[in-house]
Amino acid sequence: MAEVSASLMARIQDLAGERSLAIKPILVGSAARGTWLANDHDLDIFLGVAPGDNLAAALEVARAVAPQHEEKYAEHAYVHARVDGYDVDLVPCYLVAAAADLQSAVDRTPFHAKYVSSRIQGREDEVLLLKQFMKGVGVYGSELKVGGFSGYLAELLILFYGSFAEVLQAAGSWRPGQRLDPEGHGTAKHIEPLIVVDPVDPGRNVAAALTLDKMLLFVCACRAFLAGPDVDFFSPQRPDPLSDEQLSLLLEARGTLPILIDFEAPPVVEDVLYPQLRKAEESISALLERSGFSVMRSDIASYRDRALLLFEMEVWLLPAAARRMGPPVWEAEHLARFLAAHPMPLSGPYIREGKAVVEEPRAYPLAPDLLKAKLFGLSLGRHLGPALRRGYDIYCGREILQIKDEGFRTFLAGFFEARLRIGLL
C-alpha cells in the first residue's frame, strides 16, 4: 500500500510539474495512519491547490494519473480508479489555512488526517478493533446508505476514551442526545442523536450522519459484548438469499401483502440515491396511511442497476365507503366549499366532534391502485422522479417471486427476518 501510494503521489507531482501547476498530493484516510482494516483496499489521495487556484486543473491531473478511471461526483468531481488491486480516490481540494475557512467539505479532510496522525500512534490496534466490531454489528460506514460511524469518528472515540474496551464501556450507557467535545470548543447546537464536536471545526458534528437506530444498535452491541464477549461480534452477518420455497412460506406465514416498486436506478452515487429513496419511501408511506391503508414496515434498496421501494402492507383493501372529514361547521365558508365538493355522499353530511363529515365511494379501495394513480403527484426526489417516470414495475404479494436476482433475495431475507444477532438486543 505504501508503494502504490508513494508511486501515485510521485506521479501527481511529475504531472503537475509538467504543467507548471502547484499541486500538493496528500495521503489521507486510514491508509495514512495505519488504521485500515485488512479487507479494505481503499487509498484516498487528495490533490491540494491554493484557495485561489484552479480545481479543474487538479482534476485534469487526477485523470492523467489514472487513464483507466471513472469520474464521480460528491460536492465536486473526483476520480476513482483501480490501481494494482487498490480502490483509489483522487480528490482535488483547496489547501485552506484553517478548517474554518474551508470552501468544500473535502477541504476539511487534510485537517482530520493531521489531527489524528499526530495523536493515534500506539493505539492503531484499538482503532482496528473498534472498526471491525462496528463492521461486525452492522454500524460501520457514514455513507447515507448505512448511516453509521465513519472511520474518523471511530478514531476520535478511541482518542477520547482511550481504548476499545473503554469505548464499549462508555457507549453502553449512551442515550440519544449524548455529546462529546474532545477539544471543549463546540459552538453550535446540534439535534442529532449523537454529537461529537469536530476537533478541527467547532461548528461541526462528526456524527451527523449517524442515525438514531444505528447509534442505539451500537449501544446495545456494546452492552451485549461486555456481558458475553464473543469473536462472532467481529464478523458481519449476511443472510442467505431466500429460495422460492422459503419466500413462499414466509409470505404465507405473515399474511401481509408486499408491494414492490422496482425501477432502473438513476445514474448517481449511492449518497445521492439513498436519501432520495428514503424520501420517496416516506412520501409513499404517508400517502398510504392517510388514505386509510396501513404499512407494517417498509424499506429501500438497490441491486444491480435497479432500485426498489418495498412496502409490506398490513391493510391493503378497504371498503367501498370512505369517511371524509370536513372543516368545523362554524367555519361557514370552508363548510360551504366542502359540501359543494361532496354533493352526493353515501351517508351524511353529519356533524362529528364539531366537524362536518360525509361518507362517499372510495376512489381506490386497493392500495396498489392508489399508488399507481397518485405516485407522480408525490415528492419523489430530484433524480428519482424522472427515473420512475421512465418506467417502473409494481409487484404485489407472490408476484415478487418473479424476481430471482440474488441481491434482491438477500435483501428480502434481511427484510423479513429483521432479526438482530441473537443476544445482541
Q: In the bound complex, what is the minimum distance in angstroms from residue 214's beta carbon to a copy of itself?
A: 9
Told to check if 201 binds a copy of itself by CB under 8 A, we report no
In the block, residue with C-alpha cell 353529519: 350
The set of cell numbers assigned to 319 is 371498503
Smaller CB separation from a copy of itself, 120 or 284:
284
In the block, residue with C-alpha cell 448505512: 146
Contact 220, 174 (CB under 8 A): no
Told to check if 417 binds a copy of itself by CB under 8 A, we report yes
* Helix, strand, coil percent content, the chain, rounded in steps of 5: 45, 25, 35
Told to check if 325 binds a copy of itself by CB under 8 A, we report no
Please give the C-alpha separations between residue 93 and each of 8, 28, 199, 397, in angstroms, as whole numbers: 17, 12, 20, 49
Q: Pick from 238, 254, 337, 389 the residue near a copy of itself by CB under 8 A.
A: 254
Contact map string, positions 279 to 318, toward a copy of itself, x by CB under 8 A = -------------x-x-xx----------------xx--x
Told to check if 348 binds a copy of itself by CB under 8 A, we report yes
Report CA Rg, the chain.
Answer: 26
Told to check if 213 binds a copy of itself by CB under 8 A, we report yes
Told to check if 170 binds a copy of itself by CB under 8 A, we report no
How far is Cα of residue 361 from the mean position of the Cα atoms in its chain? 40
Contact map string, positions 123 to 162, toward a copy of itself, x by CB under 8 A = ----------------------------------------
Q: Residue 79 gets which letter from DSSP?
A: E
Told to check if 75 binds a copy of itself by CB under 8 A, we report no
The set of cell numbers assigned to 124 is 492503531
Told to check if 343 binds a copy of itself by CB under 8 A, we report no
- State the Cα–Cα distance between residues 356 and 345, nearest whole angstrom: 12
* Count of beta carbons in the 10 Å neighbourhood of residue 410: 17
Query: Which residues from 227-246 bind a copy of itself, rule CB under 8 A?
Result: none
- State the Cα–Cα distance between residues 33 and 333, nearest whole angstrom: 69
Which neighbouring-strand residues pair with 321?
361
Q: In the bound complex, what is the minimum distance in angstroms from residue 73's beta carbon to a copy of itself?
A: 32
- Rule CB under 8 A: which residues touch a copy of itself? 173-176, 212-213, 216-217, 219-220, 223, 253-257, 292, 294, 296-297, 314-315, 318-321, 323, 329-330, 332, 335, 339, 345-354, 356, 359, 365, 416-420, 425
